[in-house]
Amino acid sequence: MKINFDPFVLPFFIGVLLMFGILIWKYVVWLEAMPVKDRRTMFKNMFTFRSFKAFNEAVMECLLHRRIFKINPVLGFMHASLATGWFLLIIFGTIESKFGHNNVFNMPWDPIFFNFFEPDKHGMQYGKFFTFIMDFLLLVVLTAVCFALIKRFCSRLFGMRKTTKLLIGDKFALYSLWLIFPARLLAESFNAAQHHNGGFLTQSVGNVISSLVPASQIATVEYSMWWFYSIVLGIFMVALPFSRYMHIITEVFLVMFRNFGMKSTKELKGYTRFEINSCSRCGICIDKCQLSSAANIHNIQPTYYIQSVRYNLPFEDRAYNCLMCGRCNTYCPVKIDITNMRNITRKIANESVSFKYDYLPEYKPELNAEEFNVLYFAGCMSHLTPSIPKAMINIFEKAKITYEFLDEDGSLCCGRPLMQSGLVEAATQLQKKMTELIMSKKSMVLVTSCPICYKTFKDDYKLKKHVLHHSELIKLLIDENRINLKKENIQFSYHDPCELGRGCGEYENSREVLKSLGHLQKIEQEKEKALCCGGSLSNLKIPYEKRELMAADAVKYLDEKNPDVIVTACPLCKKTMEKHANGKMKDLAEVVSEALNNSPEYAKEKEQLVSN
């Protein structure tokens, strides 16, 4: 049995061994730290139809980069041609070396350095086909490398205002990656110059080389080129586990785990550790974050934040200077739950803080309590915009709904701001008290005007009551003919509050209500792409002026088609944006309440009251 060997294969081979050694060690440690429940879920679903779905998603996203294509086709082409081109070079290279070597066992480096060891490839079975396909794939990858170079120095040509700034490990990996394919082209082309075995690409370059380099020197330079190719491959392999390219392999695991039913955890381990290492630092989240696009803050976006968490760099500033609006989650092609990760790190930063809550009153079920249709919780932000609770009370009264106003004095909070500040223990205590209070009431429906409270009551509390946002309740009242709204010739544009839209997936009720009042304009940045008003209570760092820039930016898009009224369904959004909206900003409850006050039906009722 002939064994192909030359010392130049060693840098590549040692690189491969180190890379797989480090990767296997890391993956075993992360899998070990996974909660037992998650591991059970994984094994339970592994041998089911979900595996096919995982395989399909891995091909579509990790190789073809479908999601990036949808966001930015040029960027998608760049990522897809690099990933798929390189993957196919490995696959076809392996098949070629099986055909070309008459060995039972091929050496791991045989497919990579095939032309060096088997220069007479045109004589082998399907030799010309392999020559063509390998040249074609090399050309595809080289094109992608050219795109990557242009993007790094001229990102605007790719529609990106900012690209990620790199750490030293990333630079090592990036520059060696850029060199791999030109090095391969040169090694193969020198080989073609000497043996006339190249394809349309390598033979053409080889012919140029033959005309420039004396024939006596071609073999020597060729040999140095194979060394160079092997060295840059080796450097890249060793740098991979310490750089952003860790995502290449880790993302495949993440896709599998997600399809097997696993989710982000509440700690920076297990599935979340795979998420942290699946970020490719593609930089898409930089432009999509308004802190960058509107407020000129470019260093806190997920790409940087995850970088800090991954390398244990100080991350508090990056964790806190974020609105938790979730827009980056929508656009992240890897589907990393970034806001969850920020919550975890905020919690870690506050672990030593403790509070006492024994002074809080105890709420017992009120046995003789009156039963109302609705328990209304305006939320403290609504108390800062009192026109909203006032409108809701008008709606309850006009719809003849009995209600109890739980936080009428404005002293209660759902606990979300504490939770998002990382004060988890304090928030949990507060939520326990709030649960007691809510459950002491007899109404089966809890209605809130604040989307933040709505999400918190729905997701964090275990209430045995229906929780509705006021947009849902109003839509129900229309459907049940409890209120009749007359359609007028009014143009509305609608702002999706982050917590109601991206947070709870609730987009349609408000739109349906507005359609029964007038005409709803379609705007570019809506639903899950909606912009944040900038007022979020989750950002504990951003100065007031920056918030103002974001609010103005959001209003600019909402006002683009010059609507008569800009509507939202959140007290905080209304408050934040109204000073930029030239008196056009209203909450959904307010427009409905005004329509009721102006309706002929109620004008008649009023007349009767006055005459009596």
Told to check if 450 binds ligand SF4 by CB under 6 A, we report yes
Which helix (H) or strand (E) covers residue 215, if one does? Answer: helix 215-239
Give me the least distance between CB of 36 and ligand SF4, in Å please. Answer: 28
Give me the least distance between CB of 197 and ligand SF4, in Å please. Answer: 41
Smaller CB separation from ligand SF4, 129 or 357: 357
Smaller CB separation from ligand SF4, 117 or 304: 304
Q: What is the distance of C-alpha 91 from the center of its chain?
A: 31
Told to check if 326 binds ligand SF4 by CB under 6 A, we report yes
Told to check if 279 binds ligand SF4 by CB under 6 A, we report yes
Told to check if 394 binds ligand SF4 by CB under 6 A, we report no
Give me the least distance between CB of 79 and ligand SF4, in Å please. Answer: 10
- How far apart (Å, rounded) are the C-alpha atoms in residues 531 and 41? 36
Told to check if 325 binds ligand SF4 by CB under 6 A, we report yes
Told to check if 206 binds ligand SF4 by CB under 6 A, we report no
Single residue of 194, 280, 385, 431 touching ligand SF4 by CB under 6 A? 280
| DSSP sequence for 81-106 | HHHHHHHHHHHHHHHHHHHH---SS-
Site stretch for ligand SF4 (CB under 6 A), options 82-90, 181-189, 376-384, 476-484? 376-384
Smaller CB separation from ligand SF4, 233 or 434: 434
Single residue of 15, 206, 379, 501 touching ligand SF4 by CB under 6 A? 379
Tokens of 519: 């005409």
- How far apart (Å, rounded) are the C-alpha atoms in residues 443 and 405? 11
Told to check if 530 binds ligand SF4 by CB under 6 A, we report no
Give me the least distance between CB of 205 and ligand SF4, in Å please. Answer: 35
Site stretch for ligand SF4 (CB under 6 A), options 6-14, 323-331, 363-371, 580-588? 323-331
Single residue of 324, 423, 467, 549 touching ligand SF4 by CB under 6 A? 324
Give me the least distance between CB of 258 and ligand SF4, in Å please. Answer: 14
Output the CA–CA distances (angstroms, integers) from residue 35 to 40, 339, 390, in the order listed.
Answer: 9, 21, 48
Number of H helices, E strands in the chain: 29, 8
Token look-up 């504490």 returns: 418
Which contacts of 455-458 are long-range, i.e. CB under 8 A and separated by 24 or more positions? 455/416, 455/499, 455/500, 455/503, 455/504, 456/414, 456/415, 456/416, 456/419, 456/431, 457/377, 457/414, 458/504
The contacts of residue 543 (CB under 8 Å, 6+ apart) are: none
Backbone angles phi, psi at 195, to 5 degrees: -110, -5
- How far apart (Å, rounded) are the C-alpha atoms in residues 322 and 539? 5
Single residue of 255, 334, 566, 567 touching ligand SF4 by CB under 6 A? 334
Q: Which of 509, 553, 99 is nearest to 296 (CA)?
A: 553
Told to check if 160 binds ligand SF4 by CB under 6 A, we report no
Single residue of 84, 243, 277, 339 touching ligand SF4 by CB under 6 A? 339
- How far apart (Å, rounded) are the C-alpha atoms in residues 226 and 10? 11
Single residue of 167, 282, 375, 549 touching ligand SF4 by CB under 6 A? 282
Smaller CB separation from ligand SF4, 225 or 289: 289
Give me the least distance between CB of 546 and ligand SF4, in Å please. Answer: 11
Told to check if 534 binds ligand SF4 by CB under 6 A, we report no
Instruction: Report whether 219 contacts 209 (CB < 8 A).
Output: no
Backbone angles phi, psi at 377, to 5 degrees: -120, 105
- How far apart (Å, rounded) are the C-alpha atoms in residues 53 and 60? 10
Smaller CB separation from ligand SF4, 173 or 284: 284
250 class by beta-carbon count within 10 Å (0-12 exposed, 13-18 middle, 19+ buried): buried
Told to check if 589 binds ligand SF4 by CB under 6 A, we report no
Single residue of 9, 323, 388, 592 touching ligand SF4 by CB under 6 A? 323
Give me the least distance between CB of 362 and ligand SF4, in Å please. Answer: 21
Site stretch for ligand SF4 (CB under 6 A), options 43-51, 300-308, 362-370, 424-432? 300-308
Instruction: Report whether 306 contacts 339 (CB < 8 A).
Output: no
Site stretch for ligand SF4 (CB under 6 A), options 13-21, 49-57, 153-161, 299-307? 299-307
Told to check if 62 binds ligand SF4 by CB under 6 A, we report no
Smaller CB separation from ligand SF4, 127 or 410: 410
Among the residues of 327-480, which ranges form H helices? 327-331, 338-349, 380-384, 387-398, 416-420, 424-439, 451-459, 470-479
- How far apart (Å, rounded) are the C-alpha atoms in residues 500 and 494? 13
Backbone angles phi, psi at 446, to 5 degrees: -105, 125
Smaller CB separation from ligand SF4, 203 or 343: 343
How are beta strands 585-587 and 403-405 bridged, if at all? Answer: unpaired
Give me the least distance between CB of 22 and ligand SF4, in Å please. Answer: 21
Told to check if 332 binds ligand SF4 by CB under 6 A, we report yes
Give me the least distance between CB of 536 and ligand SF4, in Å please. Answer: 8
Token look-up 């129900």 returns: 476
Q: Which of 470, 489, 485, 482 is nearest to 595 (CA)?
A: 485
Give me the least distance between CB of 538 and ligand SF4, in Å please. Answer: 8
Told to check if 344 binds ligand SF4 by CB under 6 A, we report no
Give me the least distance between CB of 191 and ligand SF4, in Å please. Answer: 38
Smaller CB separation from ligand SF4, 285 or 473: 285
Smaller CB separation from ligand SF4, 14 or 439: 439
Single residue of 79, 101, 281, 580 touching ligand SF4 by CB under 6 A? 281
Contacts to ligand SF4 from residues 412-431, by CB under 6 A:
413-414, 416-417
Among the residues of 47-167, which ranges form H helices? 50-57, 66-71, 73-100, 114-117, 127-153
Angle, CA of 562, 563 and 569, to the nearest 5°: 130
| DSSP sequence for 265-329 | -SSSSTHHHHHHTT-----HHHHHSHHHHTT---S-SHHHHHHHHHTT---HHHHHS-----HHH
Single residue of 234, 302, 389, 563 touching ligand SF4 by CB under 6 A? 302
Told to check if 453 binds ligand SF4 by CB under 6 A, we report yes
Contacts to ligand SF4 from residues 207-226, by CB under 6 A:
none
Instruction: Report whether 392 contacts 470 (CB < 8 A).
Output: yes
> Under rule CB under 6 A, how many of the chain's residues touch ligand SF4?
37
Single residue of 193, 276, 294, 336 touching ligand SF4 by CB under 6 A? 336
Chain residues in the site for ligand SF4 (CB under 6 A)? 279-285, 289, 291, 301-303, 306, 322-328, 332, 334, 336, 338-339, 379-381, 413-414, 416-417, 450, 452-453, 532, 537
